[in-house]
Structure 1
């Protein structure tokens, strides 16, 4: 039996009531007090996530820029120092190796933040496809990542740093910021649909920062959040999960991520396949839907029209903020228009659903 990997924060899970599960080979908390309560806390106050299982790969050197431009679909020529960018990274056929964040740390130095289950695969892919004078380093084991998310996140973090957090705009970051006596990279990013920050620190300082943050945020309602609420939060905001909304078999254009595919930036891996999809139109499309009849859709459930399979659910759940059973499904493009009705096959029975606008949830500015 394989031993599950642990983040530097594993020792504190039990102290806060965390119930751990096997998540892609990692022992991670699915919940602490309960998914619905944790979800509501992030939407209304603030939540603290351990996301130290995510991977960090640093590319540096004179050809780091050109190599990243070839590897990803987005255009980092617009990226300033201390700015971050989201991008898919594709295979030649247009399917996704992963989706990631690119942080420009310095003139010739970039941090790529990748999904936990893909760290080794991504590192090998990147190492095999860089060209010229570029150094690739997997720093995942050295770095811990904490996410502080929710409308009260800035006022909580302000208690622990003299740095003016209002200076950090959305998808920008600050380096070497002292937070509770610990040096951190702080980015205004997240995976919940709320305002918030992600803090990168040395692995051996994660527990100290976790405890200081929770103590500072106690009176503001800050609580630890598990994977269960992380998934419902990102789902309501229509943020994709690798392996569900995007994968080696699902392209960014099929997944509705066309705004992150810059076909006019020059050559990159997968460009020809994505150009063909753009020119001729995708055959499948990711849509949001609401259950009309009673039932909760789940990943991989079949979607049918008149008994014919037209696609499958990528993510489905009870959406706590909207109090509805909602889902995302990859369906034949002919059935992707607003108001289209189809059946989700739940326990071998067709249950009626209707295509609706996404994101399901968008925070008030």
Structure 2
């Protein structure tokens, strides 16, 4: 019998890390915890070996000691920084405030579940410990959610793993994976979190290759084939922005793009610039580009050729991370005509190969560009 998709999807999309909305007063029955662990143990495990072990901490003194170690391992830092940026509108304000609440109140949570496994990671890179535990721990969180309980996924305690092991009498050879504070939730109105659409983070057949529409068989021009490359830059977005908004800069790194000049006085949405290109298969050409996105320190995007029916769509994006910025550079071919479509029209039986070769060539130039920008920002060159 098929599962009700709507309810299944609601469970999967609304199981959140819950901190501020954990009910610290209501006890959690032992049998309920064991039911959730029974379900979690149905998750796959390496070699079908039942090596996971679940430690439920309910004793008030033990919870208090564990909470002290949690704060020493990093919880105090979260509290201090949450207080420092409170009311500033900082992008991490809500996250830090929520983490600080948990750090202050971990000892009051009705139950704390430590998920462990027999074995120690050998550093070989082969599957072993974590891939046999993480899916089970998340199944446990899903089982909690379906019963009106919640938890918060945290590994902060691992900064004091040896002392946690001493406190809880863990033997040698047992690895701690994740700590899960468990309580009934206050309310049930959890919503899906904002996430990138699957098409923006899913590649097809080769790293970084995308499509705008479902491809039935080999990717063709009508599918909206594209490329996305990314690199992390050790600098804030304000330091990276001048480089991605410099329309001449990519010519330093690309063997196809030769340079550009602004046609408009002010760079903004709707402004235009002229780009020059050279390719041994496609020849030399100039193209008018129309700015489609211009958000300082975040997005610079343009459409080549016709603004509404472009020959290609290009986009730089800056994504703030902790201590760095992810520089994302993406390109989509079409949907409008171009020199590439002329080649396809001349050899329609080779369209898939032509598209794949174009994606490969663009990916190489785009990666050189973002890595070149990273090196300039970080002072490597």
Same fold (TM over 0.5): no
TM-score (structure 2 length as normaliser): 0.31
Larger C-alpha radius of gyration, 1 or 2? 2
TM-score (structure 1 length as normaliser): 0.32
Relative contact order, higher structure (CA 8 A, sep 6+): 1
Could you say which structure has the higher strand fraction? 1
Could you say which structure has the higher helix fraction? 2
